[in-house]
Structures are given as C-alpha cells and as structure tokens.
Copies of this chain bind each other. A is one copy, B any other.
Amino acid sequence: MTNATYQVKGMTCGHCVNSVSTEISGIAGVSDVQVDLASGRVTVTSAAPLDPATVRAAVDEAGYDLADA
C-alpha cells in the first residue's frame, strides 16, 4: 500500500469532491481516495505507486486541474 497526496484546483462543493473522487477511484489499483474540499488536498491510497500522469488525467476527466507540484 502506498499513499500520495495531490493538490486539486477548482473544487467548490461536495459534488466536485464526488466527481474527483469517483474518477480517481476508477484508476486500477486505487483502494481509497480522501478529498478535503477546503484545502483541495486529495490523498490516494493504492496498491503500488501511481503514474502522476494517470492521476492528472483522471482529475482532468472530472473537470478539474492538478496544481503544479
């Protein structure tokens, strides 16, 4: 198990949180996604480290952007 934290821009409400969470949860190997709306911080638990590009694509698919690290 590994955890990684990402910063997502533009989430404004619980629906945004759900959209991001749903998309990231769909990535193979992801077992948990925790989103903090106030901070935009998204913590992803996965079986193995994820390709950041995959996470970025999922966030984009949900309609949001990853902040540049």
Q: Which residues of A come within 8 Å of B, CB atoms?
A: 12-16, 18-19, 63
Q: Nearest Cβ distance between residue A65 and chain B, in whole angstroms? A: 14
- The secondary-structure label for the interface of chain A is helix
The CA-CA distance from A30 to B15 in the complex, in Å, is 25
Q: List, in ascending order, chain B residues with CB within 8 A of A13's CB.
A: 12-13, 15-16
Integer count of this chain's copies in the complex: 2
* 5 A-B pairs closest in CB distance: A15-B15, A12-B12, A12-B13, A13-B13, A13-B16
The CA-CA distance from A16 to B16 in the complex, in Å, is 9
Which residue, of A12, A13, A18, has the highest number of chain B Cβ atoms within 10 A?
Answer: A13
The CA-CA distance from A19 to B18 in the complex, in Å, is 13
